[in-house]
Amino acid sequence: MRFDHLLKFLFVSIIVFTITSQAQQFSGSWSCNYSTYDDESNGVGINVPSLGVIKENTFVALAYSTNGGTDFLVGYTNADSAKGRMGFYPYNGGWHQHWMSGFDDVEMTGAISIYATPDSLIYVANNDPERNILVFKLGADSVYSSDYRISTGTDSIWAVTVDGNGVTYVSTYPGQGKFGKVLVFNSISKDDNWAGLHTPNALTTITLPDTGIIRGIATNSTGTVLYVSNYSNKKIYCYTGSPSTGYTLYNGFSFTLNDTMTSIGGTLLNPGPWGLSYMKSKNILFVACANNFQLGAGYEYGRIYALNPNTGSILDTIDCAKWNYDHTGGWNQRASGTVGNVSGYASPYNVAYDENFNIYDQSYFGWTVDKWNFSGTLPTIPLTITSVERSNNLVPDKFELSQNYPNPFNPTTTIEFTISKGSNVTLTIYDINGKLVSKLINSAYFNSGNYKITFDASKLASGTYFYELTNGIQQLTRKMSLIK
């Protein structure tokens, strides 16, 4: 065996060991169903940093080049590797699409992330001087401007997402050494500014706890749980609350990307979390992980992790780079463009899904959109985390756990507790057999005070459950009954 082939074999073996040694809790495997050809007839024709999925095999790809010469949207319908693209686009980019409504005209520029809704609206996080969210619509034969846009301010914007009520969430990056933010805006149907003055006030603003480059953002359907990725420190933050009342950092969720490796040529790869997608009916958080616009050695890493939305633990992995290598024998191969289910050039910066739970990503350097199928049935993860409220400003004199109310309950109940001295607190739910159901609070610091939290057991079976509160010194337990 040639020495360079031996090195490749060892490298792939290391990747396989890393993945299989992680917590894989899905019964099945992922395979790439198709990858759009990089050619004149069906390709985007330039780098693809993001995509938005409307329904199965109907999606929009964002074309963007770091040299600033390209920014446009490409629609696909009934797509596979060789067909589906709407319209003609210049190969190798070279133009900027415009959003236009009447005499209002905004050029797409610096847009790296988009989001699509099932009603065919495409939200573009655009970095024109007003940092607009531009809204387009996928029509029967192309992508068209809508009448909607909003100016978000002066800070650079990166990602955009929309919850089931149409509320829009935007991640911002104000610059090196500064704290990124999430801006939350009311829906198109409830704020006339989308089609009027285009300058709405944010419903609420979240300031991230660390500096760094804020990349992805995702939310559940009601906007009560929000996730944000920080590429610089490899973290994903979880917030609970609502657009109307604001959000609180939830410390029970913890995800830090610890993937580091050395490429075949000796380059240290240090990837981070990019785009996020929350599969709403399954309650699975998907995170695209990649190197930062890294050519060459960067193709040897590219993964999508499926995370538990309550804890941040890894449930499963789509290893895009390994798939490429296994099917072509290289990290930057597409077998002369004839292989319809290999993108090559792994660089998955964003991730989305369709109504049948297929996953879509893109290869920035492969100029493709990729569809992944799961061989089994994806589980539904009960989303049990909710926001913790401080009920009053009184300072209690003891550590206490109250009886939940109502009790019995269906499907939600309130748990109150008091803390006499600031400490790290954990609140855990167990079933009658002592099996862990959820950690509502996972070693989060609370100042002295009176608190309450709502527990949602809509995905659990009727029965007796126990809830336990501990501060590391004292442990309190009570019983509650779920009757459906």
Q: What is the pTM of this model?
A: 0.81
- H or E stretch covering 454: strand 449-456
Do 284 and 223 have their domain in common? yes
Quote the distance between the C-alpha of residue 255 and its chain's center: 12
Cβ neighbours, 10 Å, residue 260: 11
pLDDT tier for residue 338 given thresholds of 50, 70 and 90: low
Per-residue confidence (pLDDT) for residue 454, from 0 to 100: 85
Of the pLDDT bands very low, low, confident and very high (cuts 50, 70, 90), residue 24 is very low
CATH number, residue 438? 2.60.40.3080
In the chain, pLDDT over 70 holds for what percent of residues?
Answer: 93
Same structural domain, 327 and 443: no
Q: 281 and 403: one domain?
A: no
- Which residue type does 78 have? N
CA 175 – CA 105 distance, rounded (Å): 27
Q: Is residue 190 part of a domain?
A: yes
The residue among 321, 352, 374 that closes a domain is: 374
- Are 368 and 392 found together in one domain? no
Are both 439 and 318 inside the same structural domain? no
Query: Is residue 214 scored above 90 in pLDDT?
Result: yes
73 lies in the same domain as 142: yes
379, part of any domain: no
Q: Copy the structure tokens of residue 184.
A: 């939350």
In a domain, 33, yes or no: yes
Residues 117 and 173 in one domain: yes
CATH of the domain at 69: 2.120.10.30
Residue 6 has pLDDT above 80, yes or no: no
Residues 465 and 329 in one domain: no
Last residue of a domain, one of 350, 374, 398: 374
Domain boundary among 374, 409, 428: 374
pLDDT in tens, 29-81: 999 999 999 988 999 999 999 999 999 999 999 999 988 889 999 999 999 99
Contacts with 104 (C-beta within 8 Å, 6 or more apart), sequence order: 149
Q: Measure the CA–CA gap between 249 and 95, rounded to whole angstroms.
A: 41
Confidence class for position 2, pLDDT limits 50, 70, 90: very low
Q: Is residue 9 part of a domain?
A: no
Pull the structure tokens for residue 143. 């992508």
Q: How many domains does the chain have?
A: 2
**Residues 128-161 pLDDT 10s:** 999 999 999 999 999 999 999 999 999 999 999 9
What pLDDT was estimated at residue 23?
Answer: 39
Alpha helices in 66-218 (DSSP H): none
Same domain flag for 320 and 433:
no
Domain that holds residue 144: 24-374
Give the integer Cα–Cα distance in Å for 472 and 344: 49
Give the span between the Cα atoms of 401 and 420, in whole angstroms: 12
Query: Residue 331: inside a domain, yes or no?
Result: yes
Close Cβ partners of 384 (under 8 Å, ≥ 6 residues apart): 310, 429, 437, 438, 440, 455, 456, 457
Is residue 19 in some structural domain? no
